Structure 1
């Protein structure tokens, strides 16, 4: 048994980010053609494009603002024009970055940025790409959430609010499009080791790791593995799920 995405096309937003770049390489290794979305890092996007093309997969890059419906619809048109069809798999990975502080000190614009990049990105991607999935009777709609949605720690309010709002959209959407053969799921990483940590030598944090049942931080590859699983037919009967990939640091209860 293996993950086989041959013949499928995947769009990853925020593809040049620390997690997105590993999702892209993993999905390509599984056989998927790839659409790499970026907002500002054109150099990294082009590097990823060449890496994917070297695997023999079809690929393209699209630049866009995922908080703008007009921009997302332009991305859709570019993909259709360049590759002749639209993605079978979308991964909403992009998110706005901001400085975390307390509710009383957080700039109200930060709450808006998180709502736009978590909730509205997902809505715009659904409007752009789910209709074609429905026509094919097949689709995988995947969002990257966070363990913070369950932790509610100090200084996380804007991020947590955006991701909890995103969670509501995904749960409702799963019920709306399930009969059309489309699954809708969320991956919720913990504090994940990425290339930035490897470059800076910051892979370990004792105070965080001692709280995690597996006593370590997860890796970008482990997040990408879950994304690939949910994108595949191995997860054909999984929908509406919020799946923490955080070593047990948070555990959804029933």
Structure 2
């Protein structure tokens, strides 16, 4: 209720200013997940927000909330210049340190580094590669003499650790989000006669008529609408556009 109230308040203020409404995306925030779920799935009981509802929860972390939402907050007038400057300084530090970790190499014969990490270095490693190891964190890494200087800001360190350690998983989710965004840009005309699309099952046609999704992305998240149904809709849209 509080989240919906916040969203309503923001959009009321934007409406007074005759600006476009703000609708958070499900890959950007849990509020976005909630709004999209209520639109595409509905609910017969009070909605409860679980992390399991978010398919992109690896990106919806507590440590990167400002990274996800501050630029959007700035664009709709919720962030002042002082906060915006502080935000940019923080992420410039994250960017610089991440780049430095990739460029600083520890040699295989570095005995001090081997003792700190309690491992035998078989060849040279970048600091980033060492940080990806399961039992190595930034604090331990900072004890390597040949890797200095290191940062001390815990919020920046947490951000860097998560980005480095989960890089592969994050990249995979970003690829999924790119596909999701393409589907969100594929508009479903509001005058579609779903009953005329006989290739769709009667259940799917009923669901589409009930929720009237605005995009292919929304349609794909309606319970009971299968990937095969989405493929049929895409083929239909291609024919529809050719005939318009």
* TM-score (norm. length: structure 1): 0.23
The structure where helix makes up a greater share of residues is 2
Asked which structure has the greater RCO (Cα within 8 Å, sep 6+), the reply is 1
Which protein has the bigger strand share?
1
- Structure showing greater Rg: 2
Q: TM-score, normalised by structure 2?
A: 0.24
